[in-house]
Chain A
Amino acid sequence: MSTSTPPRLPDGAHLPELAERVWSAVADGDEYSATEIVLHALDRGIDPESVLLDVIAAVQGRVGEEWAANRITVAQEHAATSINERAVVALALHPAARTAPSRGRITVACVDGEWHALPARLVAEVLKLRGWQVDYLGAQVPAPHLIAHLHTTKADAVALSSSIATRLPTAHAAITACQAVGVPVLVGGAAFGPDGQYARLLGAQAWAPDARGAADRLAEGPLPRPRADHQQMDDLPHLADQEYTMVARNSAGLVRAVFGALADEFPAMRAYDDMQRERTAEDLAHIVEFLATALYLDDEALFSWFITWTARILTARGVPAQSLPPALNLLARELRDFPRAVRILQRGVDALTTDHSTANGTPA
């Protein structure tokens, strides 16, 4: 208002430097500075989409890296994320981000149990900037809410986000439910694999690697109409063996059994305090959750990837990872009647023994 609109700076100008400044504000827990830097960038005429994706998303990526490297805690990660979210909200309210809807209507949501809302939020804001009417439903949207929303609004498509692979069975149920009411689904987020292989496996109409990709895909033209008679089982015939169902339903029992047996094999565990015992049980619960997901997708490699990643995380946190192979073996003993599960666990043990020599970077 005080000055005439400044000319838009070319994309890419100062963006890494801006990201660096926002990062230090975020790392410092200083939401005001973070928001101020973002708003100032918009005042200077930097393209809002670039600020969203090349500054805020870049900072968020760094938050994840810092967490994986144990340089910040989960709570700090959360704090950084909520500061980033506030920056996005502030950006969305800035006059430079105001765009009149000129295209169709898109529903953006996170899968139930998915708490990482920022990627979906970024997609929502980018789509708004590109002229879509967007209904942003936020983090962890239960399928009944999503479907009720689709019944009341006439969305052209749903953009569904999930970052954690263990949410994929839930994501699949949500994808199929959306398709059943006639709405095509575009999925994105780390859960669907680096090249989106799980998006294809789970029958999504489209996959996008990031917010820009999602916006570009939707701009290309309408997504294909879902088939009318499609059912969840059609994508994954291997579910007929019920191994996923049994493991998922009985996961707490499995964790208890392995936890008890592990204490016998690992005398050191008896000296653990309550916190350490709880951590160990949590790790086991994660392993079972990933095993169930690998069974659901029939993907041994997913589990091997997870178990080697866990070993590295444990090592980074100074926790000895040598209890992992015995834990997997104990789990395999519990599940001896489930051939797919046993095979997946065996591959996991193999991956752990070879990983020491071939460790190359942290998988994202």
Chain B
Amino acid sequence: MVVADPTGVVVQRNDAAQALLPAARPGARLADAVPRWLSAAHRSIRLPGPRAANEAADESGVPLSGVIAERRFEAHPSVRDDGTVAWWLVDDTDRQLAREALHMERERTAFLAKASSILLSSLNLGRCMDVTAQMAAENLADAALAIAPVRGRRLPVVTCLRGGAPSASQEAVDPDEVPGLGEALRGFPPVPSRWIDPSTAPEWMIPEGFGPIGAIVITPLPGHGVPAGALVLLRKEGSGAFTEQEEIFARLFAARSGAAMSAARLHAEQTEITEVLMRELLPPALHQISGVDFAGSYRPSADHERVGGDFYDVHPATVEGEPSLVTLGDVCGKGLEAAVLTGKIRNTLHALLPLADDHQRMLSLLNTALLSSHHTRFATLVLASAVREGNEVLVRLTSAGHPTPVIIRANGTVEAADTHGTLVGALPDVRSSTATVTLAPGESCVLYTDGITEARGGPLGDSQFGEERLKRALAGCVGMPAEGIVEHVQMLASQWLAGRRHDDMAVVAISAPRTHHLSAVNGHTRGRYTA
């Protein structure tokens, strides 16, 4: 406590003040004996009286404070009746430090939480690297590089300057040439962050226009069993080196981005595996073959799936002029397991292609193959051999326990093909009858699975789409291109469902093209087999 009169002369002090402010002896001028912030405060509040003293402290809402002998003090004035002011000095240093530490801790926690939520939401390696580089550049350094383990011979690098946008590049460099980088990228054994001499940093590591470097630290990104990469932090000359605190903090951040980057890598690897395995199971893209239009459309029962228990294929004839073979079928069950079985059936049918002109024989052999396999599932399918004859298309259709194919005639009538048969994979023998139909230009034959006709829904929500409704819809499809027909059927079925659960749905259309421009090429000749 120091007491001073209105003219700024020290009147009295206690022992503590004597120790703290040895110059402030009674009789000394306050301006000479105490730091300027205190003497200035004294001058501004000594008049006109007690009220003013309180106001001075209240002006900013916080007590006066300042540094004395390298410690921070709060100064609380109390004005006495004689006009002298007693200054009570309270050491505030530790509280201030604690407050600053708390503030910094809060900021860091908020930053880590934000980093976690952004990194968690993406399973894309490139995007995780972008986020890592950018957040590090904004919060930990003047520039940052996120480096992923070498792929092929290239080192994937994302560079970001503070305030800039992340930019990706592939560097053809050997990470072992940079001290600490090779080890960090290997992921095992664990290595600590490593300082490197800025002058040894390779050129690719320094972002364009960065200027002289003050400090570089390489931090490994821990990947939990998979190497995730490394984070390089750069600071400009003069912006201070990294403190131990900052390094610890950088490691906390690195742990999060390492987890995200390794998850993204695992996801990418799994996706690649799925892609490769799935490729054979996906429905093929159909198009025109030897003058016959083919189109197919597939909708698996679940939105997140791409395959299911329905399948179709079109196998072009090996000899020009021979029919192409269309297969469309439905394996009992849905989902991935059913899809695997469709793959087997498709392979078997593919192997039986040399017998494609004998549908009955193909079905018998397929039946035997299915019965002898360990799968207990059965299947229904349609075989269709389609060949262009003049400007018409001749189709032989055989159904094995499958919904009957439908023919759309040019005059708007819709007829069911006259083919019947038993399903395959259940009984020792399969019986079937084959129908032969001729499609005039613009006419189509539509094969579909029961997922379409058994779609349950409609405006009242409780009826099946059904064959009658399908035929009515197809009657309106006269003259439509094959793609248009399959799209239209899928759209109607899907609208009928209005988001309800459904089975796999597949539609294939075989169309005789409307032959305007082909008339030059024998277009008007009637086919040999046409009655």
**A→B interface (CB under 8 Å):** 29-33, 36, 73-75, 78-79, 81-83, 85-86, 112-113, 115, 139-140, 142-145, 148, 150-154, 180-183, 222, 228-229, 251-253, 255-256, 259, 278, 281-282, 284-285
**A79-B459 CB under 8 A given contacts A151-B122, A180-B121:** no
Chain B residue contacts of A151, Cβ below 8 A: 122-124, 267, 271
Given contacts A253-B461, A259-B459, A281-B459, 15 further A-B pairs with CB under 8 A are A78-B487, A78-B488, A79-B479, A81-B484, A82-B480, A150-B124, A152-B268, A152-B271, A182-B122, A229-B117, A251-B461, A252-B460, A252-B462, A255-B459, A255-B461
Find out whether the CB atom of B487 lies under 8 angstroms from the CB atom of A115.
yes
Q: Does B352 contact A (CB under 8 A)?
A: no
Find out whether the CB atom of A144 lies under 8 angstroms from the CB atom of B303.
yes
Find out whether the CB atom of A278 lies under 8 angstroms from the CB atom of B117.
no
Q: For the complex, what is the distance from the CA of A282 to the CA of B271, rounded to whole Å?
A: 41
Chain B residue contacts of A255, Cβ below 8 A: 459-461
Q: Does B173 contact A (CB under 8 A)?
A: no
Q: Does B95 contact A (CB under 8 A)?
A: no
User: Which partner residue on chain B sits nearest A179 by CB separation?
Assistant: B121
Chain A residue contacts of B487, Cβ below 8 A: 78, 82, 115, 139
Find out whether the CB atom of B477 lies under 8 angstroms from the CB atom of A75.
yes
| 8 A Cβ contacts from B97-147 to A | 114, 117-118, 121-124, 126-127, 131
Most A Cβ at <10 Å: residue of B459, B473, B479, B481: B459
**B→A interface (CB under 8 Å):** 114, 117-118, 121-124, 126-127, 131, 165, 267-268, 271, 303-304, 306, 442, 458-462, 473, 476-481, 483-484, 487-488, 491, 494, 498-499, 513-514, 516-517
Chain A residue contacts of B458, Cβ below 8 A: 278, 281
**A181-B122 CB under 8 A given contacts A82-B484, A281-B459:** yes
Find out whether the CB atom of B121 lies under 8 angstroms from the CB atom of A181.
yes
**A154-B126 CB under 8 A given contacts A82-B484, A182-B118, A228-B121:** yes
The 10 A-B pairs at the shortest CB distance, nearest first, are namely A252-B461, A82-B484, A75-B476, A281-B459, A142-B303, A285-B459, A144-B304, A154-B126, A79-B480, A151-B123
Q: For the complex, what is the distance from the CA of A183 to the CA of B484, rounded to whole Å?
A: 33
Q: For the complex, what is the distance from the CA of A54 to the CA of B271, rounded to whole Å?
A: 40
Find out whether the CB atom of A154 lies under 8 angstroms from the CB atom of B124.
yes
Find B124's partner among A30, A152, A285 (CB 8 Å cutoff): A152
Q: For the complex, what is the distance from the CA of A282 to the CA of B459, rounded to whole Å?
A: 5
Find out whether the CB atom of A32 lies under 8 angstroms from the CB atom of B476.
no
Q: For the complex, what is the distance from the CA of A85 to the CA of B516, rounded to whole Å?
A: 19
Chain A residue contacts of B488, Cβ below 8 A: 75, 78
Cβ contacts A to B, 14 pairs, < 8 Å? A29-B479, A73-B476, A74-B476, A75-B477, A78-B488, A82-B484, A86-B483, A113-B499, A151-B122, A181-B124, A183-B127, A253-B461, A255-B459, A259-B460
Chain B residue contacts of A75, Cβ below 8 A: 473, 476-478, 480, 488
